[in-house]
Amino acid sequence: MLALRIFLAILIFTGLKSILLKYRVLAGFNYFDFALILTVHQSLHPNLYRAMFTGAASGLAQDLIQGVSKLMGAESFTKTFIGYVLSVISGRFRLENPLVRMFVLVVCSAVNSWTYAFLHLYFSVVPQGMSVKQVGITCGWEALANFLGAIVLFPIFDRIFKEAPYDPTRGGDLPRRKF
């Protein structure tokens, strides 16, 4: 059921962004990365599969619907990577605190921007203007747009993806955390 909710959220929000971009409703809206915010939100819990598949699916949706870019799979790669690594980290540290997760999102946004640029460099398909300085500027704008977007979206996701509390009678592992 949770997977279905994630799938629907990916479809609706990615499609919505595509349409809003078409009509240019808000300046700088193209810097806002819904897929990253969703991936980070789902990766704050130590569930590796959920984190990486949310990252892969939301990135793939971006590659398909919005990113008619020249490097198919780049968005999916970065989100899968971020999802997995963040989920591993969240197994050790508690990251659900509202302030901590905003900080984590900004860091992930920067990682996302630089990994995306690195993949273009690695495959020798660097678009014109993608210099280190320009990637830095874009990274800043994306971090700001994602931060503002997450202020709205994180509480919405908290409600949409609310899980039942841990029930010891049903067995299963509790997250192993040091803090």
Partner 1 sequence: MKPTESQNRAPIVFIALLVAQLLTMSLHARAQAQQQSLSRTALLAVLYPLQKGTAWVTSGIGGVWYGYLNLRGVRGENQRLQAEINRLQQERMLVQEEVAAARRYRELLKLKESVGVPSVAATVIGRDGNPWYQQIVIDQGLIAGVRLYQIVITPQGVVGRVVGVGPTCAIVQLITDGTSGVGAMLSDSRVNGELKGRNGPQCQLASITGLVNVREGEAILTSGLEGWYPKGMLLGYVSQVQLGSGAALHQITVQPAAQLDRLEEVLVLLAKPPDIQITESVKK
Q: Measured from the CB of residue 115, what is the shortest distance to partner 1 in angstroms?
A: 11
> Scanning residues 129 to 148, which ones bind partner 1 (CB under 8 A)?
129-130, 138
| Contact stretch for partner 1 (CB under 8 A) within 97-105, 117-125, 153-161, 162-170 | 117-125
- Angstrom distance (rounded) from CA 129 to CA 117: 11
Q: Measured from the CB of residue 41, what is the shortest distance to partner 1 in angstroms?
A: 19
Q: Measured from the CB of residue 103, what is the shortest distance to partner 1 in angstroms?
A: 24
**166 in contact with partner 1 (CB under 8 A):** no
Q: Indicate the angle between helix axes 2-23 and 34-43, nearest 10 degrees.
A: 160
**110 in contact with partner 1 (CB under 8 A):** no
**98 in contact with partner 1 (CB under 8 A):** no
For residues 163 and 171, the answer to whether their CB atoms sit within 8 Å is no
**165 in contact with partner 1 (CB under 8 A):** no
Long-range contacts of 95-102 (CB under 8 A, 24+ apart): 95/44, 96/44, 96/45, 98/154, 101/40, 101/41, 101/44, 101/150, 101/154, 102/147, 102/150, 102/151, 102/154
**18 in contact with partner 1 (CB under 8 A):** yes
The token duo for 99 is 């302030």
DSSP state, 126?
A: P
**167 in contact with partner 1 (CB under 8 A):** no
Of the candidate residues 81, 90, 105, 149, the single one contacting partner 1 (CB under 8 A):
81
Query: What residues have CB less than 8 Å from 13, skipping those under 6 apart?
Result: 34, 38
> Scanning residues 19 to 58, which ones bind partner 1 (CB under 8 A)?
19, 21-22, 24, 30-31, 48-49, 52, 56
Residue corresponding to tokens 């949706």: 61
Which chain residues interact with partner 1 by CB under 8 A? 11-12, 14-19, 21-22, 24, 30-31, 48-49, 52, 56, 62, 64-74, 76-77, 80-81, 84, 119-120, 123-125, 127-130, 138, 173-174, 176
